[in-house]
Amino acid sequence: MREINRFYRNYDSLRYVGAQLVIRLRTPPTDEQMELLNDRFGFLCVRGRIERTAPLPIEVRDGDAVELARITFVFAKHGFGELRRLIDTVNGFVEAD
């Protein structure tokens, strides 16, 4: 139960929109936290950086968790274990309940 609660502390869900991986969060990362994510996990990007984003048009059309904060990047799909570490890191950005 603790592991599940920890996993969903800030992380909510993810979705691919074309080549972009969109990770939905309960609390948006600060500028400093975004820099940390890019420093630690930027290698997961095929190109560009990990960025904050508003809901993408297809998410709005689908009503897909549009109230949540988001980060997005073009995921290289070679580091799923590292993707889990990224999720653990964003979960650490918020206080435990």
With 90 as the cut, is the pLDDT of residue 3 above it?
no
User: 36-51 pLDDT, tens per residue?
Assistant: 999 999 999 999 999 9
Residue with tokens 């009503």: 63
Number of structural domains the chain divides into? 1
Domain assignment present for residue 47? The answer is yes
24 belongs to a structural domain: yes
Q: Look at residue 96 and tell me if it is in a domain.
A: no
The range of the structural domain enclosing residue 46 comes to 2-91
pTM for the whole thing? 0.92
The gap from C-alpha 60 to its chain's centroid, in whole angstroms, comes to 17
User: DSSP of 55-91, one letter per residue?
Assistant: PPHHHHHHT-STTSEEEEEEB-SS-HHHHHHHHHHHH
- Residue 64 covered by a domain: yes
Q: Hey, CA dihedral for 36, 46, 16, 85, is it positive or negative?
A: negative
Is 48 part of a structural domain of the chain? Answer: yes
> Is the distance from CB of 66 to CB of 59 less than 8 angstroms?
yes
Q: Does some domain include residue 45?
A: yes
Digit-coded pLDDT (tens) for 60-86: 999 999 999 999 999 998 888 999 999
